[in-house]
Amino acid sequence: MERALALPAPAKLNLFLHVLGRRPDGYHDLQSAFALIDLADWIDIERRDDGQLHRGGDVIGEPDADLALRAARLLQQCTGSRYGADIHVAKQIPAGAGLGGGSSDAATTLIALNRLWNTGLDRAQLAELGLQLGADVPFFVHGINAFAEDRGERLTPLVLAPAHYAVIWPQLAVSTKEIFEDSGLTRNTKATKISDFSAAADPVPQSLRAGGETRTEVLFGANDLEAVARRRFPVIDRVLAHLARFGAARMTGSGSAVFAAVASEEAARAAITGLPESWSGWVSRGLTEHPLRAW
C-alpha cells in the first residue's frame, strides 16, 4: 500500500446552466454542461495508522465544514477503516467563485484515501458517497466532462473540443444558497436535450477574420443564475463586459468567476492583462478528463 500521495483537484466551468424548476425537496432541477479545466488545487495526503484525521494547509471558513475533511470522515465512517490521514490542501481555486473548488477537493480526497486505505470502493460507490457532500462532487469523482441533470448529479459523458479560457474572479465570494433563494431567479427554463447542446455548442470560438474584424460565436444557452448575481453584485457585470471584448463570456455556477472562451492561449493571456488589482485572472485550458480518471 502506498502511504502518501500528492494529487490535483481541478476546477470546472458551467458552459451553460439552466434552472428548470423547484423540486419538492427544496432543491432545483438543473441542466448544465460541466467542463474540467487545468486550474487546480493541490492536495498532499499521508496515511496515518492511528485513525486520526488532521487538516492542514489553506483552510477557508470553519475547519469542520471543510469538504476535504468531511469527505475523509465520511469514507472512514462508511468503510470502518482504522486508518486516518494528514490532509494538506494548497488552494488555487477561490471559494465562492462557482468553480467547484471545495467539491473537487472532496472528490480527490475520496479517490486518494480509497487508495491509501485500500477500502476498495469503485467510482460509482465513491460518487454515491460524494453526493452526500454536494451535488457537484459526483462529477469530479467520475472525472469526465458531462451533461448534468436533476440536481447536477445525473451525468452523461460529453466529448468537448479542445478549448482555451480566460477566467477572472473579482475576489468576491458568492453564496450559492442566497442566489437560489432570490425571488428574482428564473425557474422555468424549458428543458433541452443533450443532442441540442452537442449540435450547437463548441467551447472553442470560431473566430472569423474579415476586414480586420473578429467575430466570436456565442455560447450555448445561458446561465440562469447570472442575472441575479449581476443585480446583487455589479462587479460581475463589469467583469462580463471586460471579457466580452475577447470572446463569448459567461459567469460559471452561481458566481462570481466569469470566463470567456477564446481562440488561443495568447488570446486568454491578453484578456487577463492589466486587470484591476482587486481582480484575479487565469489562463486555463480545457481538460478531456480528470487527471485521476485512469485510477
196 is catalytic: no
Nearest of 30, 99, 135, 145 to residue 251 by alpha carbon: 99
Distances (CA, A) of 95 to 58, 124, 169, 224: 11, 27, 10, 20
Question: What type of residue sits at position 216?
Answer: T
Given the residues 66, 105, 136, 224, select the one marked as catalytic: 136
Nearest of 127, 122, 85, 78 to residue 1 by alpha carbon: 85
Q: What is the b/e burial string over 166-184, where b = at least 16 CB atoms within 10 angstroms of the residue's CB?
A: bbbbbebebebeebbeeee
Instruction: State the helix-helix crossing angle for 67-79 and 101-116, rounded to 10 degrees.
Output: 40
All three cell numbers of 110: 475520496
136 is catalytic: yes
What are the catalytic residues? 12, 136
